[in-house]
Structure 1
Amino acid sequence: MLRHLATLLLLATPALAEPKMNGPEFEAYATGKTLYFGTDGEAYGGEEYLENRRVRWSFLDGDCKEGYWYEAGEQICFVYEDTLDPHCWSFMRSATGLIARFENNPDYDELYEVEQADEPLLCLGPEVGV
């Protein structure tokens, strides 16, 4: 799967985007899917969009974070189990999928959707120590 993702990343190029998506548009687009994102030709991570605006995020390393999203103006904000600070993004649709712009830091690179899947993320579960 990662080889397929890498190939798609090489093909992903910024395309003209539509206006920012609102909450209902984002929800209709993403719910029930696992979306994989990349930036600068590299895999970045994937997120499962579950019912009731719940999400599961991973940097594709088997470590997954549970969270939820909400609409705040023209932004979609995410809160994850390991932090209470929201991560707010603007999402736009393009001919090749979503473009995500991190609004907490305008210097941050945009993320581009490179793949959609119906399967859940690979989550290895909590680390167990001795």
Structure 2
Amino acid sequence: MRPALILRPLALCLALLPLTSAPGAAQPPAQIGPPMTAEEFDARTRGKTIEYTAQGQPYGVEEYRPGRKVVWAFEGDDCREGDWFQRDDQICFDYHDDTGLQCWTFHDSPDGLVAFFEGRNDGDPLISLRESTTPLNCPGPDLGV
């Protein structure tokens, strides 16, 4: 087989490769700040409800309340109350259930918050999609609105 015949399909495959990425897949912004401190994170999130995406898909939403209290819901799931605290350069969430601590580094960027699980910058981050001051609507006793 002639080399030109082999290279044409290869060139076509390489040209189409960018089109095979997941549609809408979110990439972390190129310019993110250092991990936020507890004070920076509290000032940035308190009183807000923030929707997050992972790999370009809806992931969940969290309402940040005074006193470092939160209400979290995975996309389409029940709400869970918890609180958060700083451990080293991570913000850790405790929902007082069997999930254990959920620790993330949060970074500010021109596009919003970017969070890496356990500070692993090589994984897929959570990226804030939308922010509001409307409380999370959680059916059930003592949760949300």
Partner of 1:76: 91
Q: Which structure 2 residues correspond to residues 40-79 of structure 1 after superposition, within 5 A? A: 40-61=55-76, 63-79=78-94
1:112 maps to: 127
Q: Percent identity?
A: 41
Aligned length: 118
Q: State the partner residue of 2:28.
A: 14
Contact 1:70 1:78 in 2 (8 A): yes
Higher strand proportion (structure 1 or 2): 1
Distance 1:106 1:21 in 2: 14
| Alpha carbons 1:36, 1:115 under 8 Å: kept | yes
CA 91–105 in structure 1, closer or farther in 2 if over 3 Å, else same: closer
Which residues of structure 1 form unaligned runs of 5+?
A: 1-9
Q: Secondary structure of the residue that 2:67 maps to in structure 1?
A: helix
Q: What is the alpha-carbon distance in structure 1 between the residues aligned to residue 49 and residue 65 of structure 2?
A: 9
Task: Give RMSD over aligned pairs.
Answer: 2.3
CA spacing shift, 1:65–1:104, aligned 2, 3 Å: farther
TM-score normalised by length of structure 2? 0.73
Q: Which has the bigger relative contact order, CA under 8 A and spacing at least 6? A: 1
Normalising by structure 1, we get a TM-score of 0.81
State the structure with more CA Rg: 2
